[in-house]
Amino acid sequence: MALRNELRAQGDILFRYRSYLPVVIILPALYLYVTDDRSVIHVSEAHRLAYELCCLAVALLGELVRIKAVGHSADNTSGRNTTEGQLADSINSTGLYSVLRHPLYLGNYLMWLGLAGLTEHLWFMLVFTAFYWLYYERIMYAEEEFLIGKFGDAYVAWSKSTPAFIPKFSQWTKPKLPFSWPKVIRQEKASILNLFLVFFAFQVARSWWQTGALQVDPAWTVGLALAMGWYIVVKALQVTTKLLATDR
């Protein structure tokens, strides 16, 4: 098989199973976190909560990038389609898509970098970054092959001046479509819950490992409770009303 076809095939497979990527990241990160196996970075207990909130801020920045990208995206683009494979009815080329071609994957990276930072292990963060790039490089390749096949020269012309992953803010173009809160709420409700759930689970695991008791800072409990409440409310609205189905 030609390398081009092989990369496309690998990317399609990785795209379909990308929801399992967190397991590969969480398990080693959890081990390093609960055992205090650190490299270079060392945070004292007095400053631990502040440091971990900074890690959460990095992760939330990633979620904000995703929200900005999804909120201005067109129908049947920037979705969470996994079993269906690649889908696109148009090319997103304004807003965040005017400064980089794959803002959702940049958002994902920042979200998982925040989690990786909890380990205080510099080498783990570097290895995670390399792994993430190799993994998503193939997904991006497969996605772009699909888009070139569907949109041809229009996609090629846009991609020539738009970086793949590192934003070029000097070429920002105002979003073509207005921001859609219903679309963001529908699509990102699980991401927000999962983010707080993972951070909370790390606190529980570390406390249990080191003390044999469950001693979690109230800040994480409140954060998880709010995220769970938000998720339940959104699901209820989706099931019982059409408030979140009235927009693209």
Domain segments of the chain as ranges: 3-180
- Is the CATH number 1.25.40 carried by domain 3-180? no
Task: Return the pLDDT at 84.
Answer: 46
- For the chain, the average pLDDT equals 86
Q: What is the number of other CB atoms lying within 10 angstroms of the CB of residue 241? A: 10
Of 102, 108, 101, 87, nearest in space to 21 by CA: 108
Task: Return the pLDDT at 143.
Answer: 87
Cβ atoms of residues 216 and 200 within 8 Å: yes
Strands (E), the chain: none
Task: Return the pLDDT at 82.
Answer: 46
DSSP assignment of 3-22 equals: HHHHHHHHHHHHHHTGGGHH
CA distance 247 to 215: 43
Torsion of CA 52, 58, 59, 64, to 10 degrees: 140
> Which residue ranges in the chain fall short of pLDDT 50?
81-85
Task: Return the pLDDT at 19.
Answer: 72
Residues 18-45 have pLDDT tens digits of: 777 777 788 899 998 988 776 667 777 7
Task: Return the pLDDT at 25.
Answer: 84
Cβ atoms of residues 8 and 142 within 8 Å: yes
